[in-house]
Amino acid sequence: MKNLRVTERNGNYVIIIQYKKIKYTMNNLIEKRGMTMKRKRWLSALIAVIMVMMLPCSVMAAQETKPYLSLGADLNATEKSAVLELLGVKESELGNYTVINVTNADEHKYLDAYLDKKIIGSRALSSVKVEQTAEGNGIRVTTKNISYCTTEMYQNALATAGIKNADIIVAGPFSISGTAGLVGAIKAYETMTGQKVDSDNVDTATNELVVTSNLGETLEDPEKAAELIAFIKNEVASQNLTDDQISELINQASEEFGVTLSEENKQSILELMKKIDDLDLDVNQLKDQISNLYDKLDSMGIHIDLDSEEVQGFFSKIVEFIKDFLNRLG
């Protein structure tokens, strides 16, 4: 959230800019004394333009979006009834939802490269409810009867895929791993928004979910695995790192989180991060979509902050531009 206002202090106009939790005050923007009406009008106009420019680029239309259901195509009647109950949907109200089916072929298409076919199985059971929410709400995930993937793992992977501002419930008719739930969530989101998720993002997100799930099992701590991957991903997306630097980052992160990684773990994370680096992800968008996870890292003393110097420099340039423009008016 960005906020900009102009006030008057001791005969000077002052710009105050609020960006997220950071407040910048630009003093002595322009002296009030001697300012002509023409300059005042131009100042007002410029500030109005800047405020518009600082609004979020994508704002949801003020209309309700029909919620979407992605159901496993191989659910029998009993299993479907159980899943719908977990998703909070009555069969009599299915007309209020857009319903799509995810087939076992869909699951194999995305997961075969990362999971044994026996693990994926021959029946599509994972089911998902997706509801689009207002700008700024981020990705919120709830799981039911999912034994392998945590909510943080889904959030991480969905953010990598480019999903924004959605409430998602992933459920199985009984305890299932849930890896295929990502496929259903992405498919439902694409149908809901009419926006095709880039295939490279889908592949990387799927890879991320599997790597994080496997790491969680190895560490016997799925939550820490999700936090570790989120931390490393942020650093990789924020910087232009070589493969050697990413490897060193993985080593440093494992020490920071107090975990021991095998060479196989390190290699799988490295290969994942090389893909993430190629996606050119928007770091601020990642943080906005899964702010709960990054806030948690921050509370642990693992800081992933905005580059305040860069932001300060940006705002300073705005002020200098206004001053220079008004001075040219004479």
Q: What is d(CA 185, CA 72) in angstroms, rounded to the nearest whole number?
A: 11
β-pairing, 2-9 with 12-19? antiparallel
Q: What is d(CA 202, CA 182) in angstroms, rounded to the nearest whole number?
A: 9
- Whether 10 maps to a domain, the answer reads yes
Tell me: do 91 and 36 sit in the same domain: no
pLDDT in tens, the chain (330 residues): 444 555 555 555 555 554 443 444 444 444 444 555 555 555 555 554 544 444 443 333 334 568 999 999 999 999 999 999 999 999 999 999 999 999 999 999 989 998 888 888 899 999 999 999 998 899 999 999 998 889 999 999 999 999 999 999 999 999 998 888 999 999 989 988 888 999 999 999 999 999 999 999 999 999 999 999 999 999 999 888 899 999 999 999 999 899 999 999 999 999 999 999 999 898 888 888 988 888 887 777 765 443 444 445 555 666 666 666 666 666
Residue 36: its pLDDT value, please? Answer: 59
β-pairing, 166-176 with 127-132? antiparallel
Asked whether the beta carbons of 233 and 250 are under 8 A apart, the reply is: no
Q: What is d(CA 231, CA 246) in angstroms, rounded to the nearest whole number?
A: 12
**Termini Cα distance of the chain:** 35
Q: Which residue has the tokens 């799988």?
A: 268
- Whether 286 maps to a domain, the answer reads yes
Q: What are the angstrom distances between the C-alpha of 327 and each of 95, 317, 324?
A: 62, 15, 5
Tell me: do 178 and 318 sit in the same domain: no
Q: What is d(CA 142, CA 97) in angstroms, rounded to the nearest whole number?
A: 19
Q: What is d(CA 244, CA 246) in angstroms, rounded to the nearest whole number?
A: 5
Q: What is d(CA 328, CA 284) in angstroms, rounded to the nearest whole number?
A: 36
Residue 108 has, within 13 A of its CA and on its CB side, a CA count of 8
Asked whether the beta carbons of 160 and 232 are under 8 A apart, the reply is: no
Q: For residue 134, what are its two tokens?
A: 């207002």
Tell me: do 109 and 151 sit in the same domain: yes
Tell me: do 130 and 262 sit in the same domain: yes
CA dihedral 291, 297, 303, 308 (to 10 degrees): 10
Q: What are the angstrom distances between the C-alpha of 259 and each of 199, 214, 225, 243, 249?
A: 32, 14, 9, 21, 14
- Whether 126 maps to a domain, the answer reads yes
Tell me: do 128 and 181 sit in the same domain: yes
Tell me: do 83 and 8 sit in the same domain: no
Residue 9 has, within 13 A of its CA and on its CB side, a CA count of 11
- Whether 60 maps to a domain, the answer reads no
Instruction: Report phi then psi at 14, rounded to 5.
Output: -130, 135
**What domain range includes position 39?**
2-55+307-329
Tell me: do 234 and 320 sit in the same domain: no
What's the domain count of the chain?
2
- Whether 9 maps to a domain, the answer reads yes
Strand, coil or helix: what is 6? strand
Residue 28: its pLDDT value, please? Answer: 45
- Whether 63 maps to a domain, the answer reads no
Tell me: do 322 and 265 sit in the same domain: no
The candidate with the shortest Cα–Cα distance to 184, out of 222, 146, 237, is 146
Tell me: do 247 and 314 sit in the same domain: no
